[in-house]
């Protein structure tokens, strides 16, 4: 982008400023690479220096296994210090190459993607490509990792092994999340009715009774809100208290009974003060 104003006024062009302004749209582009894929991380693992450090680390782990000793039990020994140094060196080198590889991919995207967009526009194709999956669409980031690792296909056996390891790690992280109450069996209304039918749990059934300290139980129980807003955590207890009063409590008459809005709590309370005490004691949110 030329500095038209500087040329018109006869001043020196502000090249750096013009480059920053022209590249701003590409910086905030949602299609811009944010992190390495599983195949790209596997390519970093095949770098000679990374492979050498990983081989040295595995040889030290083999010494522990041959001696039938855990790494933690050898803490304080020279062997343990050597292992810790080798592990830190391996992780530092691995991160350095991953950051350099990601920087290279972003630089390539910055040069090639505008040309691809122009070519698609000249051919009459839509400018927007496949919509990027976001963590909000799947509620939890762990679900996005599972989908990325399971539906990424390797080109060789060397790429398949780290892909499987990453998929196992993603599934393990997803399984650690707190589950809902599970399936509920519906009782027949009368004799001779059809066999019991399993009822799928709703999204509200997956909420734990004890919320995060800065979550709003009114927003958690509002099924009309999107999942991102229902799961929102405020930055501080003060922000939560202001939101709790301005958006919810002040619209309820003083001294009137009020029901707990949490989707898994059916308690009727005497007034707003009892609701605040109930939220702190039962749901662990200080409002």
pLDDT in tens, 23-77: 666 566 777 888 888 888 888 988 999 999 999 988 888 888 888 778 778 888 8
pLDDT of 206 higher than 90:
no
Question: Are the C-beta atoms of residues 74 and 61 closer than 8 Å to each other?
Answer: no
Integer Cα distance of 115 and 121 in angstroms: 10
Q: Output the CA torsion sign for 240, 241, 243, 247.
A: positive
What pTM was computed for the model?
0.40
The pLDDT tens digits of the residues spanning 266-283 come to: 788 888 888 888 888 888
**Percent of the chain whose predicted confidence (pLDDT) is above 70:** 77
Kindly state whether residue 240 falls inside one of the protein's structural domains: yes
Question: Are the C-beta atoms of residues 101 and 36 closer than 8 Å to each other?
Answer: yes
Last residue of a domain, one of 107, 128, 149: 128
Domain extent for 217: 208-281
Residue 153 per-residue DSSP state: P
pLDDT of 100 higher than 80:
yes
Q: Do the strands 258-259 and 268-269 form a parallel or antiparallel pair, or are they unpaired?
A: antiparallel
The pLDDT tens digits of the residues spanning 231-264 come to: 888 888 888 888 988 888 888 887 788 888 888 8
Would you state the structure tokens that stand for residue 164, as one six-digit string? 């499987």
pLDDT of 157 higher than 60:
yes
Kindly state whether residue 35 falls inside one of the protein's structural domains: yes
Integer Cα distance of 257 and 253 in angstroms: 9
Average pLDDT over residues 81-101: 91
pLDDT of residue 110: 83
Question: Are the C-beta atoms of residues 228 and 136 closer than 8 Å to each other?
Answer: yes
SS3 269: strand
Kindly state whether residue 66 falls inside one of the protein's structural domains: yes
Would you state the structure tokens that stand for residue 247, as one six-digit string? 């958006």
Kindly state whether residue 164 falls inside one of the protein's structural domains: no
Kindly state whether residue 59 falls inside one of the protein's structural domains: yes
pLDDT of 93 higher than 50:
yes
Domains in the chain, number: 2
Residue 175: CB atoms within 10 Å:
10
Residue 280: CB atoms within 10 Å:
13
pLDDT of residue 92: 93
Kindly state whether residue 27 falls inside one of the protein's structural domains: yes
Say if residue 124 is in the same domain as residue 27.
yes
Say if residue 29 is in the same domain as residue 119.
yes
Last residue of a domain, one of 128, 152, 180: 128
Q: What are the start-end ranges of the H helices in the chain?
A: 4-9, 15-22, 24-27, 38-45, 48-66, 78-122, 141-150, 157-175, 217-221, 227-230, 237-247, 272-281
In order of 197, 206, 213, 220, 240, the CA distances from 232 in angstroms are 34, 15, 11, 8, 10
Reported confidence tier of residue 154, pLDDT bands at 50, 70, 90: low
Looking up tokens 């002040």, which residue turns up? 250
Say if residue 27 is in the same domain as residue 120.
yes
Integer Cα distance of 276 and 269 in angstroms: 10
Ranked by mean pLDDT, the top range of 61-70, 96-105, 163-172, 257-266 is 96-105
Last residue of a domain, one of 128, 145, 176: 128
Integer Cα distance of 238 and 287 in angstroms: 8
Reported confidence tier of residue 187, pLDDT bands at 50, 70, 90: low
Rounded (5°) CA angle 139-145-151: 115
To 10 degrees, what angle do helices 38-45 and 48-66 make? 80
Kindly state whether residue 269 falls inside one of the protein's structural domains: yes
Give the torsion through C-alpha atoms of 26, 30, 34, 35, to 10 deg: -140
Kindly state whether residue 29 falls inside one of the protein's structural domains: yes
Is the backbone of residue 124 left (phi > 0), alpha (psi -120 to 50) or beta?
left
């Amino acid at each position: 982008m030329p500095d038209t104003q500087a040329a018109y006024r006869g001043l020196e062009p502000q090249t750096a400023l013009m480059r920053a302004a022209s590249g701003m749209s590409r910086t905030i582009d949602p299609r811009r690479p944010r992190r390495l894929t599983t195949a790209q991380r596997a390519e970093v693992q095949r770098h000679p220096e990374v492979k050498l450090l990983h081989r040295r680390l595995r040889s030290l782990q083999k010494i522990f296994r041959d001696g039938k000793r855990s790494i933690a039990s050898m803490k304080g020994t020279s062997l343990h210090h050597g292992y810790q140094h080798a592990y830190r060196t391996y992780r530092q080198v691995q991160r350095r190459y991953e950051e350099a590889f990601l920087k290279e991919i972003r630089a390539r995207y910055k040069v090639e993607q505008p040309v691809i967009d122009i070519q698609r526009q000249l051919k009459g194709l839509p400018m927007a490509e496949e919509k990027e999956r976001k963590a909000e669409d799947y509620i939890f980031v762990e679900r996005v990792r599972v989908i990325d690792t399971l539906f990424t296909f390797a080109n060789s056996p060397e790429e398949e092994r780290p892909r499987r390891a990453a998929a196992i790690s993603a599934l393990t992280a997803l399984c650690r999340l707190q589950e809902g109450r599970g399936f509920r069996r519906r009782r027949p209304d009368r004799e001779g009715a059809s066999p019991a039918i399993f009822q799928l749990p709703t999204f509200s059934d997956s909420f734990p009774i004890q919320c995060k300290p800065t979550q709003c139980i009114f927003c958690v129980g509002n099924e009309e809100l999107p999942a991102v807003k229902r799961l929102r955590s405020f930055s501080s207890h003060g922000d939560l208290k202001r939101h709790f009063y301005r958006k919810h409590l002040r619209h309820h008459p003083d001294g009137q009974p009020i029901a707990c809005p949490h989707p898994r709590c059916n308690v009727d309370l005497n007034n707003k003060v009892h609701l605040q005490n109930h939220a702190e004691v039962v749901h662990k949110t200080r409002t």
